[in-house]
A = this chain, B = another copy of it.
């Protein structure tokens, strides 16, 4: 136990809460930690709550009763989300991203931990009220986004592999059809990785027709688990809605068109705001 002045206590409590999103922290934890009365702790939390809400950092929920406490719930405000998504669209539209075949180079963006963490906070805002047991993604490029989302929601990440690895133990494999090329692929998940009846949030970096994500949904079936939601950083708008295998998902950006000849990429905000305005 340590006696701190209110000012120092506020700094420490702010750090403590920010480091533990979606953890329920009993008031007694703070009271004991600082040797302070619960009433002082409540006042401190009131100050922190006001700043967190005004600055678009998140909510501070107070749960009353014996099993009660305080919980920091990260939430990005609408305005900040809009700024982030506009910046993302701008970056995605840089013409030097165009690769042979009309593919888009995104690895530099996916390689920025700060940007991934911010995107993860948007997904945590979108899915924070759902009952979810874990995040799932398939290797490779969606991994940082899945971890960023998992960190903000205090949830583990389950990683689907393309091949069965010796370090995964016994595993379940399925075949799936990647929508745009109709080519057949395999994905595999360790038996130990996912409990039965889990509610799973699927996260990925890019979705075209949705074949890869549909593959993960099929894999969940094998574990008697179910999808709680789907979040993708970028969706391709170059797909007929009839071709799309999946209808219920959240995207941060939509790739409308890639004109390799004219060196123009058209990107606009995804459906995030229509779902979580």
Chain A interface (Cβ < 8 Å from any Cβ of B) = 4, 6-8, 10-12, 14-15, 18, 47-48, 50-52, 55, 57, 99-101, 103-108, 110-114, 116-117, 134, 139-141, 143-144, 147-148, 150-151, 154-159, 161, 166-169, 190, 192-193
Contact = CB atoms under 8 A, between A and B. Distances in A.
Contacts of A110: 159
24 contacts: A7-B10, A11-B14, A11-B48, A11-B51, A11-B52, A14-B14, A99-B167, A101-B166, A103-B167, A104-B167, A106-B167, A107-B168, A108-B156, A108-B192, A108-B193, A111-B156, A111-B157, A111-B159, A113-B150, A139-B140, A143-B143, A143-B144, A144-B147, A144-B157
A134 B57 CA distance: 28
A105 B50 contact: no
A213 to B, nearest CB: 17
For this chain, the copies found in one complex come to: 2
Contacts of A107: 159, 167-168, 190, 192-193
Most buried by B among A104, A140, A190: A140
Contact of A12 (B6, B55, B148, B192): B55
Q: Interface of chain A, helix or strand or loop or mixed?
A: helix
Q: Ordered nearest first, which 8 A-B pairs have the shortest CB separation?
A: A113-B151, A113-B150, A14-B14, A11-B51, A111-B157, A139-B140, A111-B156, A143-B143
A259 B140 CA distance: 32
Nearest to A106: B167
Given A6-B7, A15-B52, A106-B167, 7 more contacts: A10-B10, A11-B11, A99-B167, A103-B167, A112-B156, A113-B157, A116-B147
